A and B are shown apart, each in its own frame.
Chain A
């Protein structure tokens, strides 16, 4: 019997609840991000209104309606396609998104599984989506989808390295790879002796934070790194042959992963669910709300850059990763290590 929120619940129930929560967070997170940023924020930045009618108040029902529309569409699979690979690809992408949520904590006891190697696990699992993309491109039996998938794979693999290296500085400072430990480190720490806001690692790891955001932008194939998807000559890249609910899976995967990456960034650099000096059950209640607010802030940055910047060409993209981001993140690790030993 594990105490959860001062109520004794059987282990089986806990697993069931956690599964349900994770399963529902992905569409919910995707919906919220999609509506707030993709539909509304983008529209207001472009001096227009966005959806206003569906559901009455500023069109909040738009994306849900879109989801229903996608589900009831005909499931078209190209004749030459490799059926099993084609059908499995969106599922693989979604699975990697699900697996990401397992380690992100929303409160001192609200985490699906607080792994000792949380950070390592999260980054490893996020690269599973590359396999899904390659499967999508291959299984579509479409030359252009394959080219788009190869480009996407090259981009994602190139930007995995800065993503991982940017986080190493955090791990060195916090002294642990477990996400809960990192959050506790930030909650209980102090800035120049003042413990008012704890010690969010963004202050010392600002370079790491920026590199993480850039690399996350590339991992999500958002502008300015959306050459694989927004190819002006290849329409939709590797997703071109997908329709209906399979396309919905890709869409949910993209925004769900964005939600998850924002969550990881918030946890690693902004302090996650923690408010200093708030412990116990209060933290369990306020934690998700605080985490949600921080996720919104990070997502705001991600989407703001998405709507403003033009996109990189493929070779410029790769040059940025290999020639600039990786050396910078190595420097960051070096500096962090030196300061940790010296101070």
Chain B
């Protein structure tokens, strides 16, 4: 069973001194600030990488600045994240899915914070200068859309299609938004936290063995003892 006391909770003790930003990250941040000015909401660094949260209106301008001024010609990916804590699998009754890791029920946001539940984040890198940065942007749940990066990085086409498919976030200016991985009739947006992992809904862990009764026999009362775990 889970050990509730082992989950680290945010301790109410003074924050340790934040590590100084590495030199490359500081340089990139300075250039970004010069170009975007108010567009930058928050900046931080994690394990040597610069993470910058920009305002939604400055999303495309940030891409242009990254490509032109910071020489980041290479697009790694564009994706989304849903900060809501996942509801417990199998509902709130005791039991449920005991195999999935138990995530904290408190909503905390990652590096560079967030204003809401959904964020889109992207990573761009430079093949010539060998630096890169991560850009994050909050997506307002009321107007669930951002401007598309396709005019700046043509590869963003597929990444934005995937983000829309998985989270539901629209991209203005995208040439032809349609499903990428899932069939056209699929309903729902799978990577949202409130979209359940269907395989575990259908067959809770540990999986029950479907025992077919012998002809003429009564169907057996009990299920197998945790043997059928293969069905994922």
Q: Do chains A and B touch in the complex (CB under 8 A)?
A: no
